[in-house]
Amino acid sequence: MKRICKLLVLSICIALIFSATACNGGKTEEKYVIGILQLVQHDALDAATRGFREALTEKLGDKVTFTEQNAQNDTAVCAAIAGGFVSSNVDLIMANATPALQAAAAATATIPVLGTSITEYGVALDIKDFKGTVGGNVSGTSDLAPLDRQAQMLKDFFPNAKKVGLIYCSAEPNSLYQVNTIKGLLEGMGYTAKLYPFSDSNDLAAVTTTAVGDSDVLYVPTDNTVASNTGIIDNICRPAKKPVIAGEKGICAGCGIATLSIDYYDLGRATGEMAYKILIGESDVSAMPIEYAPVFTKMYNAEICEALGITPPDGYVKIAE
């Protein structure tokens, strides 16, 4: 009787293992759960997330589901969301913006993490002499546009300007990286460039007002806090007739006159393609180099240009309304 019971238990175990294998043994039958951690809601990050979801859904159909969380621009919330994804043992985390990537990378060393809308991974993850591949469980895509070409745009529009104010959020290390780089480039062109950091949206108006009073033209990088509060900048700069050169299209649409920008939807799709390769076992995240946008477009904001009496140079495309 004991032998029969053991055989019965063994048979049940084998059946359960076979059932699990049948459900999960082939990659074509695998079900994937993706955690999406987005820092804050604004046009650029929203477009990247949409592109990521759509690229993966096209590849995997109903075999992939998404758990999407927005941290409302709070680093503590980023950490909590990332921890929740790890506890849930998601198959991959997509971290949209630098604080989201930092939180996800700190939360797990085993679950693949793909960043997007990250300007410079070496700065974001404090990697000295970054060579283009993070290693470990992290890779992703960068939204860094050629900063020398952005500086040249300012020269194209305002060759006779003297003082440039650089407004950025001090809580975003990649924003500091951009304005420091732009500052050096502008000074090499003969401009006087000054940094105007703000800590969060509460002091953005005061800092912008100071910068407007001290500057001939302003520059804002790809900065998430700025992107979520372009109305504050526009409400101060436009009445004062002070033009803003912006780091990306969404910010330019809200408060700028011109930008050299990537397409964040396409960047998200590229991140989704990377995720697909990781999930099906085609690529190892630790060996995947950071990917960069291949196309950059000169754009102008027709409404603000008209309000300030500015005619864009040749070669600029109007931002669609």
pLDDT in tens, 252-307: 999 999 999 899 999 999 999 999 999 999 999 999 999 998 889 999 999 999 99
Dihedral pair phi/psi, residue 298, rounded to 5°: -75, 125
Q: Does residue 24 fall inside a structural domain?
A: no
Is 259 in a helix, a strand, or coil?
strand
Q: Does residue 77 fall inside a structural domain?
A: yes
Residues 112 and 198 reside in one and the same domain: no
Q: Does residue 1 fall inside a structural domain?
A: no
Q: What CA–CA distance (Å, rounded) separates 55 from 34?
A: 13
Share of the chain above pLDDT 70, in %: 91
Residues 304 and 204 reside in one and the same domain: yes
Q: Does residue 81 fall inside a structural domain?
A: yes
Q: Does residue 15 fall inside a structural domain?
A: no
- What global pTM score does this model have? 0.81
Average pLDDT, rounded, for the chain = 91
Residues 60 and 110 reside in one and the same domain: yes
Read off the amino acid at residue 196.
Y
Enumerate residues 6+ apart whose C-beta is below 8 A from 92: 32, 34, 35, 111, 112, 113, 114, 275, 278, 279
Please say if the pLDDT value at position 23 is more than 80.
no
Region 200-207 average pLDDT: 95
Please say if the pLDDT value at position 5 is more than 50.
no
Residues 54 and 133 reside in one and the same domain: yes
E-state strands within the chain: 32-38, 64-70, 92-96, 113-118, 138-142, 163-169, 192-198, 217-220, 244-246, 258-261, 291-292, 297-300, 317-318
How many CB atoms within 10 Å of residue 148? 11
Tell me the per-residue pLDDT of 127-152, one tens digit each, with 9 for 90 and over. 999 999 999 999 999 999 899 999 99
Tell me the per-residue pLDDT of 89-114, one tens digit each, with 9 for 90 and over. 999 999 999 999 999 999 999 999 99
How many CB atoms within 10 Å of residue 126? 10
Residues 301 and 206 reside in one and the same domain: yes
Q: What CA–CA distance (Å, rounded) separates 175 from 35?
A: 25
Q: Does residue 242 fall inside a structural domain?
A: yes
Q: Does residue 247 fall inside a structural domain?
A: yes
- Any idea what the CATH number is for the domain that residue 122 is in? 3.40.50.2300
Residues 200 and 231 reside in one and the same domain: yes
Residues 37 and 134 reside in one and the same domain: yes
User: What is the number of domains present in the chain?
Assistant: 2
What is the residue range of 195's domain? 147-261+297-318
Residues 304 and 285 reside in one and the same domain: no
- Predicted pLDDT at 94: 98
Please say if the pLDDT value at position 7 is more than 70.
no
Share of the chain above pLDDT 90, in %: 88
Residues 109 and 152 reside in one and the same domain: no
What totals of helices (H) and strands (E) does the chain contain, helices first? 13, 13
Residues 204 and 122 reside in one and the same domain: no
* Structure confidence at residue 29 as a pLDDT band (50, 70, 90): low
Q: What CA–CA distance (Å, rounded) separates 264 from 279?
A: 22
Q: Does residue 9 fall inside a structural domain?
A: no
Residues 177 and 79 reside in one and the same domain: no
Region 55-76 average pLDDT: 96
Is 197 in a helix, a strand, or coil?
strand
- Predicted pLDDT at 11: 38
Residues 184 and 302 reside in one and the same domain: yes
Rg of the chain over Cα atoms, rounded to whole angstroms, equals: 23
